[in-house]
Amino acid sequence: MNWNELYYQDAYLTEFDSEVISCQSRDDGYAIVLKETAFYPEGGGQPGDQGTLNEVHVLDTHQTQDVVIHYTDAPIEPGTRVHGRLNWQRRFDLMQQHSGEHIFSGLVHKTKGYENIGFHLGEDTVTLDFSGVLNEADLLNVETLANEIIWKNVPVQITYPDQKELSTLEFRSKKELEGSVRIVSFPGADVCACCGTHVSHSGEVGLIKVLSFQNRKGGTRVEIVCGNRALKYVQAVFRENTAISHLLSANILETSQAVTRLNQDYGSLLHEIHETTRRLLEEKKAELSDHQPLAVLTASHIDPKDLRVLCNDIVEEKHAGVAAVFSLHEDGWKYVMISKTMDLRPLCKALNARFNGRGGGPGDMVQGALTSGSEEELRQFLQDSLES
């Protein structure tokens, strides 16, 4: 810990006074270095802080070697006294997520022995990669244990043990560490080397909720949210499920059973519709006379595959010269025409032109869609075209 890293002296420092040491122009703004700062620079998976220096906006904070660089949208003269103000809402949210991640990863390590091998603190959620396979029951268990640590409101301990103490200390660490090591402990859950900012008591994490997990390459990727993000998430899910329960007139904790019943009803209805349509089409087909030069059948909402089968049956069973089947849909007609004796392409072209349609195909089978025309007009048009 350096004397000018105010965020390490007090992670809750939201305002401070300092002096500008240097200010350099960059392509996308300015890079300002201060004598001391409470702006945490990106590191250890935690994004850099945002806020203001006097009236100037700090868009991001990074560190190169030992220097903290504030990326700003305007310059400030070196030597100027500045008042720094953090976007505290954002920083506290990041502290809730980061501390929650430690508690969760520590408990995965404790219960399963897996290492955290990846940590991404995103805009919406926190993504963690673990070195072993976790299933739903494992995650439910860790989620419960993690929230119990929150209820215990244990004080977070941050220490800088010397090399001798370090050699006997058991702690999680993502990389080989040199020099002074900062150890962050959540008693009962985790001991880990970390350079980030943390809440002072586990209770401030508020709530830890697992959102999803994926087993991949022998490991597990887990998505969690903590603190205010978890509250917002639970509120949104509750709002959604309340709306669903009203729509289904179902108890709020029994919506999935209600949807299962609805799906079954829907499945039976679809089956019934399919059977009724099939019978209706069989009847319509039976009514057609044999050996006609033109056999036209109209129906509605038949899918294109069934349309082709039906049209083909009419040619085969009724020995029609030309069979045409039209199906009416919300956006107009779908059609198929089949003939063993004539090239249907000119007729198809004329039909499309007359009824604002499109389509085509090899000469013995054409299909397409029309956007206008009544059943009567279609029949008349085909009749006239084949007679002429």
- For Zn ion, the binding residues (CB under 5 A) are 44, 194, 196
Distances (CA, A) of 83 to 13, 54, 88: 13, 5, 15
Residue 72 or 116 with smaller CB distance to Zn ion: 116
Distances (CA, A) of 70 to 3, 211, 271, 386: 18, 34, 65, 81
> Which ranges constitute the DSSP H helices of 249-337?
255-287, 304-318
Residue 48 or 368 with smaller CB distance to Zn ion: 48
CB of 44 to Zn ion, least distance (A): 5
For residue 163, with 0-12 CB atoms within 10 Å meaning exposed, 13-18 middle and 19 or more buried, which class applies?
exposed
Helix 136-152, helix 88-112: angle, nearest 10: 120
Q: Which two tokens stand for residue 322?
A: 């030309």
Distance separating alpha carbons of residues 248 and 256, to the nearest angstrom: 10
H or E element in which residue 149 lies: helix 136-152
Residue with tokens 């240097």: 22
Residue 194 or 382 with smaller CB distance to Zn ion: 194
CB of 172 to Zn ion, least distance (A): 9
How many CA within 13 A on the CB side of residue 160? 8
CB of 196 to Zn ion, least distance (A): 4
Chain centre to alpha carbon of residue 177 = 35
Residue 68 or 194 with smaller CB distance to Zn ion: 194
Residue 84 or 196 with smaller CB distance to Zn ion: 196
CB of 189 to Zn ion, least distance (A): 13
- Cross-strand pairs, 81: 19
CB of 303 to Zn ion, least distance (A): 56
CB of 265 to Zn ion, least distance (A): 51
Residue 86 or 194 with smaller CB distance to Zn ion: 194
